[in-house]
Amino acid sequence: MDAVKNLIKIKKNVPSNVKIIAVSKTYSTEKIMQLYNYGHTIFGENRVQELLAKYNALPKDIEWHMIGHLQSNKVKYIAPFISLIHSVDSKKLLYEINKRAKQNNRIIDCLLQIHIAKEESKYGLSFYQAEELIKDKDLSLLNNVRLCGLMGMATNTSNLKIIKNEFKALKDFFNKIKNKYFANINYFKELSMGMSNDYKIAIEEGSTMLRIGSAIFGSRK
């Protein structure tokens, strides 16, 4: 029951309009079921294989979010059921998601992952690359994906000022993009930022989706 207790405690700090994605990577289906039985139905995973195994084993009304790096050749496995892909970081991947969504008669919601941290990472677009992708005229041809917003991960540091500034920069960029390209598009509204160690700052800076793992489930092995 610890996971449920932790979630209840976290919820006290989270406004009701901010979604909590329980990041269940590495944790057992039993732990997920504890939260499910309490009434929490949104879970995030970062590896396709683990996501598939859990999807197959667990109730079908769970809303699954893909939060980790996604290879194009694996999109087909999750296209039938995935609710939101947080980690889109290339045009190629977006095209593949569109193709597989169409084959499944679905429209798949996506976020663009933006690299905001100081750490080196292969994943995530720069602000510049993201805007280039968004203003690409070809995107309007993709009828089976919906760009719903942006995702970012702050630097893993105890310096709260650095984290705050990174989230602030992402929020500013989100506002700019929203006004320039999605002003009348009501579904472009999600800002996925904030994890176990920095979700309170993320809320202050305008997050709409928190991806919280260890603070709910306990530390990962």
Ligand X SMILES: *Cc1c(COP(=O)(O)O)cnc(C)c1O
Contact positions vs ligand X (CB under 6 A): 23, 25, 46, 67-68, 153, 195-197, 211-215
Residue number with CB closer to ligand X (53 or 185)? 53
Residue 194 per-residue DSSP state: -
Count Cβ atoms below 10 Å from residue 9 Cβ, excluding itself.
11
CB-based closest residue to ligand X: 213
Residue number with CB closer to ligand X (116 or 153)? 153
Give least dist CB 219 to ligand X, A. Answer: 8
Give least dist CB 220 to ligand X, A. Answer: 7
Residue number with CB closer to ligand X (5 or 135)? 5
Q: What is the 3-state secondary structure (H, E, C) of 122-146?
A: CCCECHHHHHHHHHCHHHHHCCCEE
Residue number with CB closer to ligand X (104 or 197)? 197
Residue number with CB closer to ligand X (115 or 142)? 115
Give least dist CB 83 to ligand X, A. Answer: 15
103's tokens: 């084959």
CA 166 to the chain's CA centroid: 17
- Please enumerate in sequence order all residues whose Cβ is within 8 A of that of 33, keeping only pairs 6 or more positions apart, or say none: 58
Residue number with CB closer to ligand X (23 or 48)? 23
Residues comprising the chain, all counted: 221
- Taking the C-alpha atoms of 38, 44, 49 and 50 in order, what is their torsion angle to the nearest 10 degrees? -40
Give least dist CB 87 to ligand X, A. Answer: 7
Query: Percent helix, strand, coil in the chain (nearest 5)?
Result: 45, 20, 40
Give least dist CB 48 to ligand X, A. Answer: 13
Determine if residue 218 is left, alpha or beta; phi over 0 gives left, psi from -120 to 50 gives alpha, anything else beta.
left
Give least dist CB 195 to ligand X, A. Answer: 4
